[in-house]
């Protein structure tokens, strides 16, 4: 089963009509851990994107990628992924911020 949702917005926001974002916040700066995806294991089911609160999963055609500018590190995607594709890794293990 592949779940595709049409209304992915670029930013954290509350929306009035699912097309226009009302609010853009720098949610990526709050993060203490980031999701790391093993795209070889991903079956492109879309659940991570569906449940991601700020809707920052980018559809890459046959897998998803996280937009780290808006990912707040909540770990919902890792919990919801049925294939254990996503690991939450402490930010301190990365040198790019």
Q: How far apart are CA 75 and CA 87, in angstroms?
A: 8
Q: What is the DSSP letter of 47?
A: H
Count of residues engaged in binding ligand SF4, rule: CB under 6 A: 27
Task: Answer yes or no whether residue 9 interacts with ligand SF4 by CB under 6 A.
Answer: no
Residue 64 binds to ligand SF4 (criterion: CB under 6 A): yes
Q: Could you tell me the sign of the dihedral formed by the alpha carbons of 42, 45, 49, 50, in that order?
A: negative
Contact call for residue 86 and ligand SF4 (CB under 6 A): yes
Q: How many CB atoms lie within 10 A of CB 94?
A: 11
Taking the complex as a whole, the smallest distance from the CB of residue 26 to ligand SF4 amounts, in Å, to: 13
Residues in the chain: 97
Contact residue for ligand SF4 among 9, 46, 58, 87 (CB under 6 A): 46
Site residues for ligand SF4 per CB under 6 A: 35, 37, 42-48, 52-54, 56-57, 64, 66, 71-77, 81, 83, 85-86
């Amino acid at each position: 089963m592949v779940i595709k949702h049409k209304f992915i917005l670029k930013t954290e926001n509350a929306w009035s009509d699912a097309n226009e974002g009302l609010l853009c916040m720098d949610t990526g700066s709050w993060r203490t851990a980031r999701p790391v995806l093993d795209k070889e294991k991903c079956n492109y089911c879309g659940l991570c994107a569906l449940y991601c609160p700020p809707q920052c999963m980018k559809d890459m055609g046959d897998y998803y990628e996280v937009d780290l500018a808006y990912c707040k590190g909540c770990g919902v995607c890792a919990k919801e992924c049925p294939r254990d594709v996503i690991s939450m890794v402490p930010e301190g293990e990365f040198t790019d911020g």
